Structure formats: C-alpha cells, structure tokens
Structure 1
Amino acid sequence: MSTPSSPAAPTVPPRFSVTQRRRAVLSSYLGSVIEFYDFMLYATAAAVVFNQVFFSDLDPVVGTVAAFGTLATGYLARPLGAVVFGHFGDRLGRRRMLVTSMVLMGVSSTLIGLLPTSEQVGSLAAVLLVTLRVLQGVAIGGEWGGAALMSAEHTATRRGLWASFTNAGAPTGVVLSTLVLGASATLVGEQAFVEWAWRIPFLLSIVLLALGLFVRLRVEETPVFTSADAAEPVAARRPPLVEVLRRHPRNLLLAVGIGFGSFVAQGTFTTFLVSYAVQAGFPRAVALNALTLSSVAAIGAIIGFSALSDRVGRRPVVLGGILATGAWCVAIFPLVDSGSTVALTTAVVVAHVLYAAWMGPSAALYPELFGTSSRYTGASLAYQLSGLGAGLAPVTFAALLATGAGTTAIVVTIVVVTLVSAASVLALRETARTGLAEPARPE
C-alpha cells in the first residue's frame, strides 16, 4: 500500500539584512578585483612580455599570436568553470563556491610567477603556462556568476546598483594589474623587467588572496537561496544545467548574444589595442597608462549606468551602450594610427565608458533571467560563453594583421557582432522589475 508523499515545505520569504548586503557587495567587489587582477595581469603580460619569455624562439609577430593563443585557452576554460561551480553553487550554496574559486585563482596566478622560461626548459614552459591559464579560466568561470548572485540575492531593491560592484571590480583589477606591471617595468628597466621583474605582480597574488578570503568568509549565504533551499529539497530538483537547457534556453541564447559582442569589444580595448599601439611605435608605458586611465573611468561609468538601469530598465541602457560602442569602434584605429598620445588615450577612454553601459547592468540582468535553483549555472554559463569573445578577438585580430589584412577587417567584425548583440537585446523582455525570489517567468 502506497503512502502519500510529504507536502512541500512552505516558501519562506527571504529576510534581507543591510549589514550582510554591505558585506556581500564588498566581498563581490574585492573578489572581482582579485580575479580580474590575476586574469587581466596575464592578458597584459601576454600583450607585452610573454612572446619574449615563453616564445622567444619564434618570429615576433608569430610569438605575439602564440601568446594571445595561450590567453584564449583561459577563456575556453571559463564555460567549464561556469558549469562545475554553477552546479555546486545551485546545490550547496553560493558562498562555498566563491571561496573555492578565489583560492584556485590566487594559487594559479602565484605559480605563473614561478614558471621557468623557454630558454630554461624549452617547450615545457609553454605547456605549464597553458595548464595554469586553464585553471585560471576555470576559477573565473565560477567567480563572476557567484559574485553577481551574492550581491543581487542580498538585496530587494536597486539590484542594478548593488550588483554592479561585481562588474566594477573588473576594471579595478585591470587598473591594479597595469599599475603594478608599469611600476615593475619603470623601477628596474626594460631588460630586467623582461628577464625577471614581470614575475613580481603574479607573486603578489598570494597577498590579495589572503585579503579576499578575510572578507569573503564573513558573508552569510544569500537569503534568496536559503529560502528556496528550505522550500525544495536538493534531491527533488533537476540538475541545474538540465534546468537551464529545458526551461531557459531562449534566455541563455539571448544573454550570450548580448554578451559575446561586448567581450569582443573588451578584448580589443584591453588586450589587442595595447599590443597594436606598441607595434605602432608608442612606448609600452604610454599604452599601459592609457589603459589604466580608461579603466578608472570605466569604474564610475559601470556603477552609474547600472544605477540608471534600475530607473529606466536594463534594455534601454544596454542597447544604447551597444550602439554607441559599435559606432566608436570605427574611429579607434585612425586615432591610434595618428601617433598622438592624446588621441590614443581619448580612443581608449571613450571606448571603455561606452562599453560600461553595454555590460555594466549585466550583473543584475543575467541573474534575472533564471530561476533560483539554476541561477548560478544559468548566469555563469551565459556570461562565460559570451566571454569567449574576449579570448578569441585578440588572437584573431593579431592573425589578421599577420596575414596582411588591415584594421578595416577588424572594425567590420566588431560592427557585425555589435548588431547581433543589439538584436538580442530587442528580443529580450525587460527584467528590472522582476523579483529574484519569485518563480522564474516562463519563456
């Protein structure tokens, strides 16, 4: 004789704490700073150093392509990190996975600073470099989604503003990495920097890791996840990836469509353009200073545009950022080719400010597209699949230049992906007024 199944536990409304929200926002911001310091430190080093350190036996142009190729491997590993960390983050909680991702990134970056060069161990150096780069990619694949959820799920109002600090941590990490690299190069000179001083910024990752863990361990699990976990046992849920693919395939596809173009733009602005400017005759310090200034401007722009999206909606702000960025890309290379430091700086700063409207609100937008039981997986996977654009753009554009194609081909590529992103925004419903504790709206 069968027995009746136990009734589902009643849904308990989330209880939000101002103190925990502040800790969550600070934790997400610092975690993003640390993760992107490590990740973009590699990107910058790939643009200016790694072709000489790990690929010194290759032609300079080919060595640059190879260095950007190792950069791309990190982006290819990010979707794997999104699935793995997302699965356990949706099952066990956001907090545990965020601690794990931070440790993995910090340790991997520190080990990069200890790697032997190709002159010392030959091709083994490149193999070790790629391995650690893959681990970096897996770590950041789990970091962004968890950090965005940690802020978004700790607040009931002004979600765009509070979640935006996760994205604001990215340019902060870029600023920190370029400042440390620039200071290392300035203090010891060009030759010593290439020989050994480039390692210093990577070794400093262990200090940032200790700081980040101190803050992150003081944050409690999000009230939205705790409430959903009490209402539905883990054993009764579908695997998060299955849930995303069955219930939210359209949202996943549109989110990737929005983000891919933005990451192509990001990879162009933060990595490829530095290498292009150096090859065009600008001193390395000038190119890095322009990147630093533009990242500082992007921090405020991300927060400002995200706060605006709470008032007018995510779609108008993101669409405006897409169209403005695409239009500005047409002017970037002529400005750099002018040879003027002011023109170079203007090109990069304006590009980052416009880009901030495109991706700034995404820390709130992506979580709003998925239900609580699969939100970590859905938001992370959408963001990291989009992130392939940043990894593929520099190596693709460097290869185009190596084969004799001009910058017009690069601009056309950026404009095309921009139009795809704009179409994706127009096909997406507005999400700014959706409560994260509510059941996911059917597509």
Structure 2
Amino acid sequence: MPRCITAPSEHYKLALAVSMGGMLELYDFLIYALMASYIAEHFFPASDQLSSLLGTYAVFATGYLTRPLGGLFFGHLGDRFGRKKTFTLTIFLMALTTALMGCLPTYEEVGVIAPLTLVLLRLTQGFSLGGELPGAITFLSESAPQRQGLMIGILFLALMIGISLGTFLHGLLSMLLGQETMAQWGWRIPFWIGGLLGLVSYQIRKRFNESGLFAALDQARQQSTIPLILLLREHRKGLLCGLLLMALCGATVTVYGVYMSSYLSSILGLPQANVAWRTAVAFFILSPLSLLAGILTDIVNKRLLAISMALVVIILSFPAFQYFLTEAPQVRHIMMTCGLFTAVASGLLPPIIVRFFPTEVRYTGIATSYNFGFAIFGGLAPLSSTLIVQMTGTALGPAYYLAVIGTISLIAVLIPWPDFDMAKTECLDTTPTEKG
C-alpha cells in the first residue's frame, strides 16, 4: 500500500476553520458562568449572595444536563446524514440563543417569566453544544486520521482561547464601564457579541465539505440503521470507557476553567476585574499546552496518559486550593495553575476516546460519552462545589469534588479498551469531499 500522508496543509487549514467555530461556540456557552454574579442579581434575587448564586449555578447545570439530549439527537443526524450539515446547524442555534439571552427582561421587570425564559434559552444552548464539540472532534479525526491528536489539539487550543476571550472581554468591560454600569446593563454586551460572532462562524461552516471517511460508508445501509441502538448493542465497552474519561475531563475543565472566576470573586472576595484579566492572560499563554497534550496522544501510550492525568488531578488539587486560600494569594499564580489543569485535561483526554468507536457510530459514541461525562460531572461541578462549601464551611469544596471524580475515572484504565484505528484503514483518501 502507498504510504499515508500524515497531515497535508489543507487539513491544517480545515482544523483552524473548525476550531474557530468551536472557540466561538464555547465562548457563547461559558459567558453565562462568567456573568454569573450579574445574572444572580437580576434573575435570582435572594436575601444572601450565596443563595442567589446557587440559583444561578442551578440554571448553569441545566445547560449541561441537556447536552446529552443534544448529543443523541445531533449524533443520530451526523452518523446518518453527515457531519458537516449537522454541526453547522448547531452553531446557528447557539448564536441565536446567546443573542437572545442578552435581550431578556429582568426579574424586577417581568417577575418569574424572566428566570423561566432564561432556563429555556439555557436548555437550548446546552442542546446545541451537545452536537457541536463532538461533531468537531469527529470531523477533524476523520479528516486527518494519522494525526488525530494534533488536529483535536488545535481544536482545544482554540477552545482555551475562547475562554480567554470571554474573560478578557469581561475585564475590559468592567474597566471601561465600571462595576455599577456592568451590573445594570453592561453584562448583556458579551451575549450580543457572542451571538454576532456565532453567526459569522455559521457562514464559515456552510462552506465546509464532508468528511472522507463518512463519505466512504455505504450510505444506503447507513441510513437504514439507528446509530444509538447499534452503539448500545455492540459498543458498550467503548461507551463506558469514554464516559469515565470524559467525567474526569468535564470536572477538571469546569472547575478550573469555568467555576474559578466566580469562586474567587464571590466566595473568596477577590476583585472581579483583576480575576478576569488574570484569567484571560493565563489561559491565552497556556493554550498551546492543549495542542502539545493532543500531540502526546499520537506518540505516547494513551492508557498511561489517562492514568497520569487522573493521579495529577487527585493528588495536586488539594495543594492547589490550599494555596488559593492563603492570606495573600497571587491571582496570577492561581489562574496560571487553573489554566495548566484546563489546558492539559482538555487536550489530552478527548483524543483518546475517538478510537473507541467505528465510523458508523463515531459521532453518536463521542457525543454520548462526551456529553454525559460533562453533563453529570462537569455541569454539576459548580453547584456541588458551592454546596460543599456551604455545608462544610470549608472553601476546599472543589478539591474534594475533583478528588472523588478523579478516583472514579481510574476505573476506565482497568477495562480493556476497544481500538478502531482509523490510520490503518488502507490509507483511505480522507480529505473532505467536494460539496455536491
């Protein structure tokens, strides 16, 4: 057989285009958490700040909890009718709901209708994100199967920049508008910007071509099957392993990448603007680690990498949070630590699960394991961590949560992993096909 080309230049261009869309979609989804303190004040008024935040984080969790439904729905469409059409639709839905969030009336203006509408939009956000990131992972891995880790690493590098973009914008607006104006109406601006950028990304996605591996399937046979049933009947082991690894990824990324801004400002009392700036800088500087972690999965034993990641989270989370609670912690050191955990976990773990599933159920398999892992263990992380803080009186709540999830994830390394290696598929031409 002719030797496979590792990664042609068009694959890198494709990865950058896909990753830009993923970056904007994650920005749209996470801007809610970054604006949590303002949303709590306008939509969940309560006698004390912690109770108000709990209401806000409960809605945050609903966005995660609908991700599995979106993953099942869009995974079904993606495995039967194509990757490109499916994850183009998801970014349109995300852009629309994000823009509408910025236009909502407050509790003071319309009463209980305000939080109910917010919940509905948040559910729609989670539903669309459930198909977006698994679709991007599937599409990129099938477009360059010899360098899956590299391609997916580019995607998660962009996602890290998306987090940085959100926090940078938060800090910039806080500086330009001031705390009072931000609390009144300035918090809406990031939602409007996210919606606009999402529509731009939608236009870019429309120009994509289909994945070569999907195009190589027998389409008549593929469209007569139900991917979820096939997945549950023949690929349960891959599904379980993927879920456990994504549980670790979801908990780590959510605690260190999403929850920490509100944790530092609302629970530890650190200045919001300072936290936002430091987060933006740290995540931008450390974003290349996602790419390096992805590359590692191409050249190092994947089981060893998974074990190492779990042990690092279990062992180092307590010292990290103990430092956060010292009398005069340096915010830049805190956010560099958080960025390190987030970058490595997000770049290292998702590429591992790609080979757990064959092409005919890959979108559904990745979407199911990825979304259930993030929904159950990531979506509940802010709420669970805050509840632990409230119930125990110790601000080490997030560290306890991460230690438990890290321990659970180690079960995955005890199970024999399935391996559907796309790089061995007789050097198929996996360059995305022409639009037709």
Same fold (TM over 0.5): yes
Deviations 1:261-309 (A, max 9, x none): 2222222213332222113221011222232233224421110011122
Aligned pairs (5 A) from 1:17-416: 18=8, 20-46=10-36, 48-230=37-219, 233-236=221-224, 238-278=225-265, 279-342=267-330, 344-388=331-375, 389-416=377-404
Determine if contact 2:168/2:280 at 8 Å carries over to the other structure: yes
Query: Using the alignment, how far apart are the partners of 2:343 and 2:159 within structure 1?
Result: 11
Determine if contact 1:20/1:154 at 8 Å carries over to the other structure: no
Check 1:276–1:123 CA distance in 2 against 1; reply closer, same or farther (3 A cut). Answer: same
Determine if contact 1:329/1:351 at 8 Å carries over to the other structure: no
Check 1:428–1:199 CA distance in 2 against 1; reply closer, same or farther (3 A cut). Answer: farther
Root-mean-square deviation (CA, aligned residues, Å) is 2.3
Look up the equivalent residue of 1:379 and give its one-letter code: I
Determine if contact 1:313/1:430 at 8 Å carries over to the other structure: no
Structure 1: gaps (5+ residues): 1-13, 439-443
Determine if contact 1:28/1:148 at 8 Å carries over to the other structure: no
Query: Using the alignment, how far apart are the partners of 1:409 and 1:198 within structure 2?
Result: 28
Determine if contact 2:142/2:422 at 8 Å carries over to the other structure: no
How far the C-alpha of 1:320 sits from its partner, in A, is 1.8
Aligned residue for 2:232, secondary structure, equals helix
Determine if contact 1:74/1:138 at 8 Å carries over to the other structure: yes
Tell me which moved more, 164-173 or 14-23: 14-23
Query: Using the alignment, how far apart are the partners of 2:24 and 2:298 within structure 1?
Result: 27
Check 1:326–1:286 CA distance in 2 against 1; reply closer, same or farther (3 A cut). Answer: farther
Query: Using the alignment, how far apart are the partners of 1:329 and 1:141 within structure 2?
Result: 28
Structure 2: gaps (5+ residues): 427-436
Look up the equivalent residue of 2:345 and give its one-letter code: W
Determine if contact 2:33/2:259 at 8 Å carries over to the other structure: no
Query: Using the alignment, how far apart are the partners of 1:423 and 1:17 within structure 2?
Result: 34
Structure 1: which 4+ aligned runs deviate by more than 6 Å?
Answer: 14-17
Query: Using the alignment, how far apart are the partners of 1:377 and 1:421 within structure 2?
Result: 21
Percent identity (aligned):
26
* Paired residue total: 422
Aligned residue for 1:198, secondary structure, equals helix
Tell me which moved more, 249-258 or 264-273: 264-273
Aligned residue for 2:217, secondary structure, equals helix
Check 1:199–1:355 CA distance in 2 against 1; reply closer, same or farther (3 A cut). Answer: closer
Tell me which moved more, 75-84 or 357-366: 357-366
Determine if contact 1:145/1:379 at 8 Å carries over to the other structure: yes
Determine if contact 1:23/1:219 at 8 Å carries over to the other structure: no
Look up the equivalent residue of 1:321 and give its one-letter code: M
Query: Using the alignment, how far apart are the partners of 2:422 and 2:155 within structure 1?
Result: 20
In the superposition, the TM-score normalised over structure 1's length comes to 0.89
In the superposition, the TM-score normalised over structure 2's length comes to 0.90
